Structure 1
Amino acid sequence: MTTTAMLRAFCDAVEQRNGRAFADLFTEDGVYHDVFYGAFAGRDKIAAMVDDFFYRTATDFRWDMHDPVSNGTTLYARYTFSYKSTLPEANGARAMFEGVAIMTLRDGKIVSYHEVANTAPAFVDLKFAPERIAKIVGKQGAELRARPEMKRHLA
């Protein structure tokens, strides 16, 4: 499968609420590190993340990957991601954010997925109170700062 085809299958599986198809893009021991929900290890948990976690408070997902770059073992792609929130305070608003997907690959499968995303605008779109946004963004910043590979960049 080409990189472009894999990324389209990745996005399509989320948009179609097909956790199994999404998980099949990963190795058996693959890990998806979600910017909101944390790490999901193994295909069963990755499938549940899409089917249960993503769709718990959202619907009508749209995900597009742009400008992929890969050396065969690492893949980077800029993305745009949006969904309609079903949270009461969002009143059906569409949240949108941009980010960068970072994937480690082995034998044409994803071993690990990480992302860096600017989530704050999405929370504004969802009409979250400023105090709630500050708490969420502060937690995400602390988690990012705790990652060993980020320490040299933040020093």
Structure 2
Amino acid sequence: MNTFTMLRAFCDAVEQRNGKAFSELFTEDGIYHDVFYGAFEGREKIAGLIDDWFYRTATDFRWDMHDPVSDGEMLYARYTFSYRSTLPEAQGARAMFEGVAIMRLRDGKIMEYHEVANTAPAFVDLKFAPERIVKIVAKQGAALKARPEMKRHLV
């Protein structure tokens, strides 16, 4: 599967709440490191991330990948991601953020997915209190810094 086809299938599976199709893009031992929810290892847990976690407090997902670059072993793509929140304080607001997807590939499948994202604007869209945003962003930053494999991707 070429890069563009894989990325479209990746985004479509999320938008269609199809965890099975999403997880099949990964190796059996694949790991998805989500900027909000942490690590999900193996196809069953990765499928659950989409079917259960993503849709627990959101709906109407839209995910687009832009300007992918790959050497067959690594794949980088800038992305835009949005959803409609079902959290009471969000009052149905649409949250949007941008990020970079970083994927290690093996035999044409995703072995490991990481992302670096600017999530703060989404929390403002969701009408989170400023002190709550500061806590969330600080926690995400600390978690990212604690992952030594990500240091080469941080500027």
Measured at CA, do residues 153 and 68 of structure 1 come closer, stay the same or move farther in structure 2, by a change above 3 Å? Answer: closer
Distance in 1 of aligned mates of 2:148 and 2:109: 24
| Partner SS, residue 55 of structure 1 | helix
- What is the aligned partner in structure 1 of residue 122 from structure 2? 122
TM-score (normalizing by structure 1): 0.97
- What is the aligned partner in structure 2 of residue 14 from structure 1? 14
Deviation, 1:33, is: 0.1
Distance in 1 of aligned mates of 2:153 and 2:71: 23
Distance in 2 of aligned mates of 1:150 and 1:107: 22
Alignment of 1:25-64 (within 5 A): 25-64=25-64
Deviation, 1:23, is: 0.1
Stretches (4+) displaced over 3 A: 149-154
CA offsets 1:46-85 (integer angstroms, 9 cap, x no match): 0000000000000000000000000000000000000000
Distance in 2 of aligned mates of 1:9 and 1:34: 18
Measured at CA, do residues 43 and 151 of structure 1 come closer, stay the same or move farther in structure 2, by a change above 3 Å? Answer: closer
TM-score (normalizing by structure 2): 0.97
Distance in 1 of aligned mates of 2:4 and 2:59: 25
- What is the aligned partner in structure 2 of residue 105 from structure 1? 105
Q: Which amino acid aligns with 2:78?
A: R
Give the superposed CA RMSD.
1.2
| Partner SS, residue 47 of structure 1 | helix
| Partner SS, residue 48 of structure 2 | helix
| Partner SS, residue 36 of structure 2 | coil
Deviation, 1:149, is: 3.4
Distance in 2 of aligned mates of 1:118 and 1:85: 17
Return 5+ residue gaps in structure 1 as ranges.
Answer: none
Q: Which amino acid aligns with 2:77?
A: A
Deviation, 1:151, is: 4.9
Deviation, 1:114, is: 0.1
